């Protein structure tokens, strides 16, 4: 059974088919939105969504004094934010931050819905079956859905499987759905050949400049001094940033970071200071691990290997073999 929802509900779940149909039913082109004294405010909200998302301050903020129109504006701001992410050339790392903030908002909302509504929403994101209180996903779909998740509990080897169906609970289903949405949110649009309204182009330029300032503010504060003038590869900087922010880093990320720094001849004691920022830092284990890697002279994995391990790589890095070969493109 499919439900029909009002715009207040749809504004919380802009990815739903019903949400897209609602926007299409308003017959609002990008030009019409840009020229509208009412719906034009969706441009400002779209930009705020991106900036707040990158700063991890995402909030649900429809214009309440406009009643349903305020929720319509907020709903329209979502596809506009996708346009601005592409037009302002927001980097992959920052797009991921934005996507994770939107994903967090989705998880907050869906956990407050009743069981039937939760199931309805989740079915639009991924394929699964339900029998009593059990949720099952066909194993091939499960592998595809969880390929980027870094939660050992969700590894197929740790799951119960029967007749090719993998069992999950509802919270795990929401976690998987959130990751799928975040991947979609972080994707850019191909706007080549699209004539955008001048106000969109101008606002995108302003956003681009604002993003540069923010990027400088949130870049890792952990200092790493190379003997050469090599730039810090974005993928390495992101791992360091996760450590700095007390986010969980998996074994593959720690290995990439450690092998990179050792090959750049950063002293073990300096590398230990970086890992010491981790929320689960263990000095004895870290010392043993670094000494082990140092003695065996492990090289840093290639970007191809890193991608296969689910480690985020920027577009500019793909031109190089591995982080050790990375050089920032001169302008």
Angle at alpha carbon of residue 50, lines to 63 and 204, rounded to 5°: 100
Q: Phi first, then psi: give them for residue 167, nearest 5 degrees.
A: -85, 135
**Mean pLDDT of all residues in 297-307:** 91
**pLDDT at position 239 over 50:** yes
What pLDDT, on a 0 to 100 scale, did the predictor assign at position 315?
81
Q: What pTM value is reported for the model?
A: 0.70
**Would you call 136 helix, strand, or coil by DSSP?**
strand
Angle (CA) 323 329 330, round 5°: 140
What confidence category does residue 331 fall into, taking pLDDT thresholds of 50, 70 and 90? very low
Helix (H, G, I), strand (E, B) or coil at 220: coil
CA torsion through residues 112, 115, 120, 126, sign = positive
Q: What integer is the mean pLDDT of 224-228? A: 62
Q: Are strands 134-138 and 161-162 parallel, antiparallel or unpaired?
A: unpaired
Percent of the chain at pLDDT > 70 equals 93
pLDDT score recorded for residue 221? 60
CA-CA distance, 258 to 154, in Å (whole number)?
A: 25
DSSP 38: T
Pair 261, 290: CB distance under 8 Å? no
What pLDDT does residue 330 have?
Answer: 47
Question: What's the CA gap between 145 and 127, in Å, rounded?
Answer: 10
The per-residue pLDDT of the chain, averaged, comes to 88
Q: Is the pLDDT of residue 266 over 90?
A: no
Regarding predicted confidence, which is higher, 194 or 109?
109
Residue positions counted in the chain: 331
| Model confidence pLDDT, tens digit, residues 126-181 | 999 987 778 999 999 999 999 878 677 888 888 989 899 999 999 999 999 999 99
Per residue in 15-46, pLDDT (tens digit) is 999 999 999 999 989 999 999 999 999 999 99
- Can you give the pLDDT at residue 3? 55
- Give yes or no for a contact between 121 and 109, defined as CB atoms under 8 angstroms apart: no
Please report where in the chains the tokens 């329209």 appear, as a residue: 76
Q: Is the pLDDT of residue 276 over 90?
A: no
Residue 2 has pLDDT above 90, yes or no: no
Q: What is the pLDDT of residue 1?
A: 43
């Amino acid at each position: 059974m499919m439900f029909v929802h009002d715009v207040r509900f749809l504004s919380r779940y802009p990815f739903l088919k019903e949400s897209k149909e609602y926007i299409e039913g308003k017959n609002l082109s990008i030009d019409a939105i840009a020229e509208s004294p009412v719906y034009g405010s969706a441009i400002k909200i779209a930009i705020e969504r991106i900036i707040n998302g990158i700063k991890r301050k995402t909030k649900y903020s429809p214009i309440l004094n406009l009643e349903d129109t305020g929720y319509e504006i907020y709903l329209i701001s979502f596809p506009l934010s996708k346009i601005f992410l592409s037009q302002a050339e927001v980097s992959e790392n920052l797009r991921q931050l934005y996507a994770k903030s939107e994903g967090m908002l989705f998880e907050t909302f869906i956990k407050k819905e009743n069981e039937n509504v939760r199931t309805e929403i989740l079915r639009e994101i991924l394929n699964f079956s339900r029998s009593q209180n059990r949720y099952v996903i066909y194993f091939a779909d499960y592998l595809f859905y969880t390929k980027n998740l870094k939660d050992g509990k969700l590894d197929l080897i740790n799951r119960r499987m029967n007749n090719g169906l993998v069992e999950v609970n509802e919270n795990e289903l929401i976690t998987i759905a959130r990751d799928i949405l975040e991947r979609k949110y972080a994707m850019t649009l191909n706007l080549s050949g699209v004539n955008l309204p001048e106000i969109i182009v101008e606002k995108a330029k302003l956003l681009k400049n604002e993003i540069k300032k923010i990027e400088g503010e949130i870049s890792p504060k952990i200092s790493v001094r190379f003997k050469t003038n090599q730039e810090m590869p974005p993928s390495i900087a992101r791992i360091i940033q996760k450590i700095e922010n007390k986010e969980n880093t998996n074994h593959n990320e720690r290995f990439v970071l450690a092998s990179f720094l050792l090959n750049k001849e950063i002293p073990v004691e300096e590398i230990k200071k970086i890992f010491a920022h981790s929320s689960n830092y263990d000095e004895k284990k870290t010392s043993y691990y670094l000494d082990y890697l140092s003695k065996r002279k492990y090289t840093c994995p290639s970007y191809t290997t890193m991608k296969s391990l689910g480690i985020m790589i920027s577009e500019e890095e793909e031109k190089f073999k591995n982080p050790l070969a990375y050089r920032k493109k001169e302008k």
